[in-house]
Amino acid sequence: MPDMKIAFLASEVIPYAKTGGLADVAGALPKFLSRLGSEVRVFMPFYREVRARNLPLRTAIGQAALDTPGGKKEYSVLEHRADGFSVYFIARDEYFDRDCLYGTAAGGDYPDNGERFAFFARASLEAMRGVGFSPDVVHGHDWQSASAFAYLKFVLADDPFFKKAGSLFTVHNLAYQGLFGREVLAAVGLPERLFNMNDLEFFGKVNYMKAGILYAAAVNTVSPRYSREIQTPEFGCGLDGLLRWRSHALSGILNGVDYADWNPTTDKLIPARYSPADLSGKAGSKAGLLAMFGLRDEPRIPVAGMVTRLAGQKGVDIVCEALEDIFRLGLKVVILGTGDKKIQDFLTEAKKKYPGRLGLMIAFDEKVAHTIYAGSDFFLIPSRYEPCGLTQMYSLKYGTVPVVRATGGLDDTIQDFEPQAGTGNGFKFEEASAAALVSCLRRALDVYARPDQWLTLTRNTMAADYSWTRSAGEYLKLYGKIKERS
Ligand code: ADP
């Protein structure tokens, strides 16, 4: 389907604004789809941090307004030409000229997020019309874009411009659903009758994610295993029944990696470059990493790195609990992350308690992240659940051995290393517990201690190919099916 026209709606997109993996996907997938011949246009909010980038922008729509129950709300649309596709920024300062994307560490989520992101979704649909881009498929990502599917079904149902548009909703993380008071429906111009269990009501709230799951023609998640997991009560976050009901329309497509950004042979953000054929730069990167975190340069002491949101999902608390045992095994640990205040406080104290053993930065920093991928020996991902997980795929490329819990996309991408056969690309454990993590690390260290096995494992990790090309091809097939049906 080389002539597909796809409209992407995403609340974060690299390199403009990022808090997690969604941004990586929304920045890379359009590039690969366009290489396969599709025309992709991406719509995202014009946040303060996007403005601060001083990009070369063209005004696509100078002045427009949405008719909302609260009166006319003006916005403009700015266009940036990215690598093979256009990005349209929805600009309305009242909503998007703020310090953060979704909320602040101190104050929590912005109280008007329901209105902000419904406005983004509705204005994006109007912007498509405004720039004359009539999509074959509207592809929305996560709850921030999901209200678009309610507008398409209930407000724009008879609109000839969208008559032929199919729709796809991608769940990147089911735990974040966008829950708001029932008054939000009237405020954003959606029918109040949708406040019922079979539509958008969810335990007394309006659930934006339900709009994507219910009203998009197809729904997918970012790994095959996660698409099955979310149909169970354990992972379904209260929506498993609904997802089972929609299972005929639900699939899983593994995220990919943009190796133009994530490749130790070319990466300008890491201390020393290297390749599978010449790994010497990996030692240089390790030295650079240790220096960056103020740790002594002891090349033979293994380092386990983490780059992560500090959230219960990511199992950072499991690492906290296991920390003493991990140090007893002889490892150093380096953590870069932001998030949960309790975890931050625990780690800040632990850093004082274990000087020279624990490196910690509470920050969001791309260069430090790349340095950890390159300079660590192991990469820890003890997630309780993981829709796909990109960090294990990045660390593989950098020859850094993932130690992961067997869940979601982690289970789909990591195969346990078998020393005898020389197969596998990491280490997996089943139980979400400190004991299981430590025992898995013990196995990993046995291999680290045997240079021939370690070299085989390192080569295996670097040989893993999770390029976007394959996944983009799967998305194209899915778009094709959706288009046929619409
Ligand atoms: P999630 O989206 O659930 O946070 P993913 O593994 O899908 O998890 O993606 C996380 C992305 O965010 C990766 O690109 C990772 O490098 C990046 N990241 C997470 N925390 C930080 C941080 N503190 N600094 C820089 N990058 C980070």
Distance 188 CA to ligand 1 centre (A): 31
Rounded to an integer, what is the distance from CA 380 to the centroid of its chain? 17
Please tell me if the CB atom of residue 389 comes closer than 6 angstroms to any atom of ligand 1: yes
Q: Probe ligand 1: pick from 170, 364, 368, max atoms within 8 Å of CB?
A: 364
pLDDT digits (tens, 9 = 90+) for 201-254: 999 999 999 999 999 999 999 999 999 999 999 999 999 999 999 999 999 999
Which ligand 1 atom minimizes the distance to the CA of 389? 6
Please tell me if the CB atom of residue 364 comes closer than 6 angstroms to any atom of ligand 1: yes
CATH 3.40.50.2000 corresponds to the domain 5-256+469-485: yes
Distance 31 CA to ligand 1 centre (A): 20
Which ligand 1 atom minimizes the distance to the CA of 173? 3
**What is the per-residue pLDDT for 106?**
82
Distance 308 CA to ligand 1 centre (A): 5
Please tell me if the CB atom of residue 326 comes closer than 6 angstroms to any atom of ligand 1: no
Distance 22 CA to ligand 1 centre (A): 9
Please tell me if the CB atom of residue 309 comes closer than 6 angstroms to any atom of ligand 1: yes
- Enumerate residue ranges in the chain where pLDDT < 70: 1-2
Please tell me if the CB atom of residue 344 comes closer than 6 angstroms to any atom of ligand 1: no
Considering the segment(s) 280-465 as one domain, its CATH architecture is 3-Layer(aba) Sandwich (3.40)
**What is the per-residue pLDDT for 165?**
96
**What is the per-residue pLDDT for 3?**
81
For residues 177 and 150, what is the distance between their CA atoms, to the nearest angstrom?
15
Query: What are phi and psi for residue 281, nearest 5 degrees?
Result: -65, -20
Among candidate residues 276, 252, 246, the one with its CA nearest the CA of residue 425: 276
What residue ranges do the domains of the chain occupy?
5-256+469-485, 280-465
For residues 182 and 65, what is the distance between their CA atoms, to the nearest angstrom?
24
Question: Same fold for the domain at 5-256+469-485 and the one at 280-465?
Answer: yes
**What is the per-residue pLDDT for 2?**
53
For residues 363 and 356, what is the distance between their CA atoms, to the nearest angstrom?
20
* pTM confidence score: 0.95
The protein residue with its alpha carbon nearest to ligand 1, atom 14, reads 21
Please tell me if the CB atom of residue 240 comes closer than 6 angstroms to any atom of ligand 1: no
**What is the per-residue pLDDT for 107?**
87
For residues 322 and 433, what is the distance between their CA atoms, to the nearest angstrom?
9
The protein residue with its alpha carbon nearest to ligand 1, atom 24, reads 364
pLDDT digits (tens, 9 = 90+) for 19-78: 999 999 999 999 999 999 999 999 999 999 999 999 999 999 999 999 998 899 999 999
Angle among Cα 60, 62, 66 to the nearest 5 degrees reads: 105
